[in-house]
Amino acid sequence: MDWQAFFLTLRLATVTTAILLAVAIPLSAWLVLGRERRPAAAGWLAGVEALVTLPLVLPPTVLGFFLLVLLGPHTAFGRGIAALLGHPLAFSFDGLVVGSVIYSLPFAVQPLVAGFAAVPSPLIDAARILGAGPARMTATLLVPLARRSFLTAGVLVFLHTVGEFGVVLMLGGDIPGSTRTLSILLYNQVENFDYAAAERTSAILLGLSVLALAAIYWHSRERRESHA
Amino acid sequence: MLEFELEARRGSFHLQVEGRFAAAWTVLFGPSGAGKTTLLRLLAGFDRDRLHGVGRVVFTERLLTDGKRGLHIPPGQRQTGMVAQQTALFPHLTAAANVAYGLRNLDGAARNRRVEEMLDLAGAAALARLRPQDLSGGQAQRVALARALAPAPKLLLLDEPFSALDGQASDLLLDRLKEWVRAHGMQTILATHDVSDALSAGAEVLLLHEGRRVAFGPAAEVLARERVRLLIRLGPD
């Protein structure tokens, strides 16, 4: 068993989940509160939402290719990042994190937007007339009332990152200890006809998925029972 | 003094009304669907996108809404409190925490004192630690009133605020509230379709029908016909 790939994958998924939750909370709140406050702006907010959802339908290899070019030495952005960090982002763990964050963005934003949008608008009106701005409304109203959406978003992002292949391969390649995740390892094992090892790697990926989904369903059952 | 000239559309409903309220207590009276809630929400600064035409609200010489100049002061900066038909208490907070929500500028001790004072005024002192799901409809309305009054707004908008309270409890609370807002120089607008509420308030009344102003003046004059109807309904006893 390649524990290095296992722990690298867990690290990548954990870092991506943490970053995405931090990014998705204000982004989702902005989308929902923007619709509430200015229905006339709903059109272009829907455009932003569609842009955020794009990685969901874009082939991962295409996204990986775009990022590879963008973060590589052929663009000013890529050169700027390399100068800033002292190394290029492509073919590095940090580059994988950037790719994973963009790739899994819709998996964090969609559940949170749905959760925040389910908060009844009279509550939002009440907070507004009591002087709460968007940040306070998010912290004191949307986040506590949409708690379950955080578990869904966190688990989906984590699993999506664990199973990521196309973006990782295009952007990170296959560098042991740096960019070789379980999905890449599995691909290598199958390519080398090492089916026994491939079965073990697949079992781990399957186990992670089942555990995470069980956590969501267990949590939702607990909630249903506590409300009954 | 509250002056307004407002026009708004919501589906097929069209509100077009202007007014100049100088009395401390004004009643918006009309049947369901007359536009009372729509008018109160526009005065509070909500539903900006539904405004058409001039769209002007001035309160104590401060311009709050001016469609011509694109000026729109947000609801939280109008020194306005509102109790809507739906109490909209925050379900994850206790009654006391709900009342404290608009008191961010006060320090802990002052905030607690204010919360106690407001809950006491609304007859909800015993409910401080309860959550909204443990309150009856009438209790929730008392807490919602305390929450709206807590930040000491200059303008108080009440939309059928005591509909879940029985007649006697509603009258008692209304009397206590009138005394309190008078003492604190607060201007109040109460929307109701209940004649007895409108008459007991003894205030100026704006009679609304299908989004239009039908009459405006002292309650005894504007609601004379409704008063007779009420007396007939109550019978010779």
pLDDT at A74: 85
Looking at beta carbons, which residues of chain A come within 8 Å of B92? 144-145
**Four-point Cα dihedral A94, A98, A104, A105, nearest 10:** 140
> What are the φ/ψ torsions at residue A192 (nearest 5 degrees)?
-90, 10
3-state secondary structure (DSSP) of residue B22: coil
Q: Which amino acid is at A180?
A: R
Structure tokens at B72: 């729109």
Instruction: Report CA Rg, chain A.
Output: 20
Residue ranges making up the domain that contains A195: 3-227
What confidence tens digit (pLDDT) does each residue in A118-173 have?
999 999 999 999 999 999 999 999 999 998 899 889 999 999 999 889 888 888 88
pLDDT at A86: 84
What distance in Å separates the CA atoms of residue A42 and residue A47, rounded to the nearest whole number?
9
- Please write down the HEC assignment for all residues of chain A: CCHHHHHHHHHHHHHHHHHHHHHHHHHHHHHHHHHHHCHHHHHHHHHHHHHHHHHHHCCHHHHHHHHHHHHCCCCHHHHHHHHHHCCCCCCCHHHHHHHHHHHHHHHHHHHHHHHHHCCCHHHHHHHHHCCCCHHHHHHHHHHHHCHHHHHHHHHHHHHHHHCCCHHHHHHHCCCCCCCCCHHHHHHHHHHCCCHHHHHHHHHHHHHHHHHHHHHHHHHHHHHHHHHC
pLDDT at B202: 64
Q: Name the burial class of residue B70, with classes exposed (0-12), middle (13-18) and buried (19+) by CB atoms within 10 angstroms of its CB.
A: exposed
What confidence tens digit (pLDDT) does each residue in B135-166 have?
999 999 999 999 999 999 999 999 998 888 88
What distance in Å separates the CA atoms of residue A169 and residue A174, rounded to the nearest whole number?
7
3-state secondary structure (DSSP) of residue B14: strand
Kindly identify which residue of chain B lies nearest to residue A126, measuring between CA atoms. Answer: B88
What distance in Å separates the CA atoms of residue A126 and residue A112, rounded to the nearest whole number?
21
Query: What ipTM does the predicted assembly reach?
Result: 0.90
The shortest C-alpha distance from B230 to chain A (Å) reads 33
> What are the φ/ψ torsions at residue B87 (nearest 5 degrees)?
-65, -30
3-state secondary structure (DSSP) of residue B182: helix
DSSP E strand boundaries for B80-163: 80-83, 155-159
What confidence tens digit (pLDDT) does each residue in A64-111 have?
899 888 988 888 988 888 888 888 888 889 989 999 999 999 999 999
- Give B83's contacts (C-beta < 8 A, 6+ positions apart): B141, B144, B145, B148, B156, B157, B158, B159, B161
pLDDT at B203: 81
What distance in Å separates the CA atoms of residue A112 and residue A124, rounded to the nearest whole number?
16
Q: Does the pLDDT of residue A227 top 60, yes or no?
A: no
DSSP E strand boundaries for B155-232: 155-159, 187-192, 204-209, 212-218
3-state secondary structure (DSSP) of residue B194: coil
Q: Tell if the CB–CB gap between A131 and B102 is shorter than 8 Å.
A: yes
Instruction: Summarize the confidence of residues A177-200 as an average pLDDT.
Output: 93
Looking at beta carbons, which residues of chain A come within 8 Å of B45? 129
Q: Which helix (H) or strand (E) holds B196?
A: helix B195-200
Q: Tell if the CB–CB gap between A125 and B76 is shorter than 8 Å.
A: no
B51 pLDDT band, cuts 50/70/90, is confident
What confidence tens digit (pLDDT) does each residue in B158-186 have?
999 888 888 788 888 988 998 999 899 99
- Give A24's contacts (C-beta < 8 A, 6+ positions apart): A105, A108, A109, A112, A153
> If you count residue pairs, one on A and one on B, with CB atoms under 8 Å apart, how many are there?
56
Q: Locate the domains of chain B by residue range.
A: 2-79+154-234, 90-152
What distance in Å separates the CA atoms of residue B182 and residue B178, rounded to the nearest whole number?
6
pLDDT at B200: 67
What distance in Å separates the CA atoms of residue B56 and residue B16, rounded to the nearest whole number?
12
Q: Answer yes or no: are the C-beta atoms of A124 and A14 closer than 8 Å.
A: no
Task: Match domain B2-79+154-234 to its CATH number in 3.60.140.10, 3.50.50.60, 3.40.50.300, 3.40.50.970.
Answer: 3.40.50.300
Q: Does the pLDDT of residue B227 top 70, yes or no?
A: no
What is the CATH classification number for the domain harbouring A105?
A: 1.10.3720.10
Mean pLDDT of chain B: 89
First-to-last C-alpha distance (Å) of chain B: 40
Q: Does B10 touch chain A (CB under 8 A)?
A: no
- Give B89's contacts (C-beta < 8 A, 6+ positions apart): A126, B95, B98, B132, B135, B140, B143, B144, B147
The number of distinct structural domains making up chain A is: 1
> What are the φ/ψ torsions at residue A181 (nearest 5 degrees)?
-95, 180
The shortest C-alpha distance from B199 to chain A (Å) reads 29
Q: Does the pLDDT of residue B225 top 70, yes or no?
A: yes
Looking at beta carbons, which residues of chain A come within 8 Å of B159? none
What confidence tens digit (pLDDT) does each residue in B54-79 have?
789 999 989 999 988 889 999 999 99
